Structure 1
Amino acid sequence: MNKPSLVVLAAGLGSRYGSLKQMDHFGPSGETVVDYAIYDAIAAGFGKIVFVIRKHFEAEFKEMFGPKMEGKVQVEYVYQELDALPKGLSVPESREKPWGTAHAVMMAAPVINEPFAIVNADDFYGRSSFQKIHDHLSTLNNEELSACLVGFVLENTLSDHGRVSRGICQVDENGNLKEIIERTHIFKKENVGAYFEDEGVKTELTGKEIVSMNLMGFTSVIFEQMEEAFAKFYKEQSGHPKAEFFIPTTLDNVRKSGIKVPVLMSEERWFGVTYKEDKPIAQRNLNQLVEKEVYPHKLWT
């Protein structure tokens, strides 16, 4: 069987960050956050990296990442654009915002024929997270629909500087997913816990909830189901210019079809860069990991 692949969602425009954070420097030798994800994925045994990017920064992105990856892992680039739609669909006049994370993953279909994992380009997941999902994906029959999720504890994934989006999970006694709901306005409370807002209503959270950070895995037969689900989403939501097709919805559709979706709990402490103010925190965290010799001072040699 082919080694699992890693799909890196790097097409975001960083509106809350103020620039293309997927290409910003965070490590002591100028590494990006996603450099560490790729480094860990290669160490875990992933055989291919698929970057989902936008055409307008293609040259800059390839110049930054191409030389680092050469000779270390197979690399593919695919493109998320507004007009990259299934046959028969067109971009509504009011649409300016990208179609969401699940649409981004759909772009990888032509280059994926094996089980694969998904990561955000601006999130740090930790080496053991990649090892857990790699090892699980390596056991799957790619001809059968299957999915999994790496779970994190909510309080370990919040920003001090504003709202975040998380898929909040309910897990059964056997460690399988019962439900996942995307919450796009989760805020850290001043002391302990968190809350989310939905249409002006605040709902309290303990901070101990299991959440998805979009580190999920699927067999490649998922793409057929995703295209059908996107067509349904388009029919229902194309008149709403900010509606998005989220990858947690795809995962939940697998669960609803009767297939068990294991939640692989990670002990790692996640961090990411949603806001510009998150940058020095991420830099400090990465420097500490380098000082502990988890990573070399210069990641790529």
Structure 2
Amino acid sequence: MQPTLLILAAGMASRYGSLKQIQQFGPSGETIVDYSIYDAIRAGFGKIVFIIRKEFEADFREIFEPKLKGRVATDYVYQEMSAFVTGHEVPADRTKPWGTAHAVLCAKNAINEPFAVINADDFYGRDSFEKMAAFLNKDCNPKTFSVVGYQLDKTISDFGSVSRGVCEVDGNGNLASINERTKIVKEGEQIIYEDGDGTKHPLKPNTSVSMNFWGFDPSVFDLSEKLFREFLDKGINQPKSEFFIPIVVDEFIQREKGVVKVLPTSAQWFGVTYKEDAPGVQASLSALVNNGEYPDNLWK
């Protein structure tokens, strides 16, 4: 059974106002997510599932169905505020979605095979998809999940701070812990992060970081559902609290349910954290096309 790629795209259209305005970076108008889907198909993924907001389904279908029809199976799942909130009432002042782990949970009925999760607006690179596909096909099981580990210095923006999940990797190449660092920035030759009180801490350039590229067995859905109930019991009345994927992964490790393998990649990540990043993304994609990594029209 071929693995599935789950693309977190519920926030995508809201950031741009509408899907019609999604930024085009490739020589034939490709978006970043087009490159991820192309890489996934050539690595052997058999289905693409988009997590979206219901009101944008028609836009998504209009954009992606003509490209993907006949190449890969597709499905669309909605992240809705009321999903999996059984036994609780959604507070009237809650406008923020429940977070990335809730988005994944919303795909429970659409996925029955090992699957990967990515963000819609990050470029992950061919190597990452090949390593993830190999893991999902051979090593993924209810006791073994994975995350792609990027080198920190290949994930930095020149135009401001970034948030990254800093991975502590044990001697067996497994994830020991993951800490979200929200203010990572280049200072001269150094990379540092600032903690809550403004204290600066240096980070090594080759530090392993997560860019939200995960590999899961479908058993993760039952664990997530249980943890989401615990999250709601504690935090349903905090309007900004979110249920993130690293919360689930951390509990999976701490409760000794299994291990999370870190799949190291030397791939260069890029994304548009700041609008000033856009020309660099365009230039990087042009270079990859010129080097023959990608065709100049992905879907011709």
Residues 1-301 of structure 1: pairs in structure 2 closer than 5 A? 2-13=1-12, 19=17, 23-140=22-139, 142=141, 144-183=142-181, 185-206=182-203, 207-258=205-256, 259-301=258-300
CA 196–99 in structure 1, closer or farther in 2 if over 3 Å, else same = farther
Indicate the RMSD between aligned Cα atoms, in angstroms: 1.9
Give the gaps of 5 or more residues in structure 1. Answer: none
The residue matched to 1:226 in structure 2 has which SS?
helix
After TM superposition, the score normalised by the length of structure 1 is 0.93
Query: Residue by residue, what CA displacement relative to the aligned partner does 1:105-135 show, whole Å, maximum 9, x if unpaired?
Result: 1111111001000111111111110010110
- Structure 1 segments of 4 or more deviating over 4 A? 17-22
Query: Residue by residue, what CA displacement relative to the aligned partner does 1:39-82 show, whole Å, maximum 9, x if unpaired?
Result: 01110001111101112222112111111110000101001122
The residue matched to 2:138 in structure 1 has which SS?
coil
Deviation, structure 1 residue 93: 1.9
Output the CA distance in 1 between the equivalents of 2:221 and 2:269.
28
CA 20–266 in structure 1, closer or farther in 2 if over 3 Å, else same = farther
**Identity level (%):** 49
The residue matched to 1:189 in structure 2 has which SS?
strand
The residue matched to 1:297 in structure 2 has which SS?
coil
After TM superposition, the score normalised by the length of structure 2 is 0.93
Output the CA distance in 2 between the equivalents of 1:89 and 1:70.
40
Output the CA distance in 1 between the equivalents of 2:81 and 2:148.
29
CA 14–282 in structure 1, closer or farther in 2 if over 3 Å, else same = farther
CA 20–248 in structure 1, closer or farther in 2 if over 3 Å, else same = farther
Deviation, structure 1 residue 165: 2.2
Output the CA distance in 2 between the equivalents of 1:193 and 1:19.
37
Output the CA distance in 1 between the equivalents of 2:198 and 2:85.
36
Larger mean Cα displacement after TM superposition, 26-35 or 241-250: 241-250
CA 193–85 in structure 1, closer or farther in 2 if over 3 Å, else same = farther
Give the gaps of 5 or more residues in structure 2. Answer: none
Contact kept? 2:2, 2:44, Cα under 8 Å: yes
Output the CA distance in 2 between the equivalents of 1:13 and 1:33.
12
Output the CA distance in 2 between the equivalents of 1:14 and 1:160.
25
